[in-house]
């Protein structure tokens, strides 16, 4: 996995070696959502978290590649981060507006639990900066 992508995601997700609550679900490592099929025994190391992140981010990367858009490395990182956090379905909704509207659409994805989330506001702003650089 691209080290710049891993660093960007970790900047927002942080690292936790144990399961912790996060917006109604549990996470471990670097933003890994607990799945019924998980066989993860905490505490985990940072290296283990990076290995789990590589799998999770790989799924988001695949969703971005499926768009068929020609993207710069920074644009790819911004969209993979978005898909990692919000999901492939959200990426499809964002992409439905077209590649030229990405920077307009990203800042709209800032709600959690029906409320504006300050962390998501900042993360979307960082994705816009990355997408345009």
Q: What is the mean pLDDT of the chain?
A: 97
Proportion of the chain above pLDDT 70, given as a percent = 100
Domain map (residue ranges) of the chain: 3-131
- Could you give the CA distance from residue 97 to residue 47 in angstroms, rounded to a whole number? 37
The answer to whether residue 23 scores a pLDDT higher than 90 is no
pLDDT at residue number 78: 98
60-96: per-residue pLDDT in tens?
999 999 999 999 999 999 999 999 999 999 999 999 9
Q: What residues form DSSP beta bridges with 16?
A: 29
Angle, alpha carbons 70-74-77 (nearest 5°): 90
Instruction: Give the strand pairing for 25-29 and 16-22.
Output: antiparallel
At 1 the pLDDT is 86
CATH class of domain segment(s) 3-131: mainly alpha
Sheet with 16-22, edge to edge strand ranges: 16-22, 25-29, 32-33
């Amino acid at each position: 996995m691209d080290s710049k992508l891993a660093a960007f995601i970790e900047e927002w997700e942080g690292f936790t070696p144990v399961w912790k609550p996060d917006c109604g679900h549990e996470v471990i490592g670097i933003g890994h959502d607990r799945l019924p099929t998980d066989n993860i025994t905490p505490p985990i190391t940072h290296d283990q978290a990076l290995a789990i992140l590589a799998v999770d981010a790989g799924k988001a990367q695949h969703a971005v590649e499926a768009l068929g858009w020609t993207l710069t490395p920074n644009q790819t990182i911004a969209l993979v981060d978005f898909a990692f956090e919000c999901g492939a379905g959200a990426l499809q909704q964002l992409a439905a507006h077209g590649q030229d509207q990405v920077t307009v659409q990203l800042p709209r994805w800032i709600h959690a639990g029906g409320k504006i989330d300050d962390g998501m506001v900042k993360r979307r702003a960082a994705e816009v900066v990355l997408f345009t650089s």
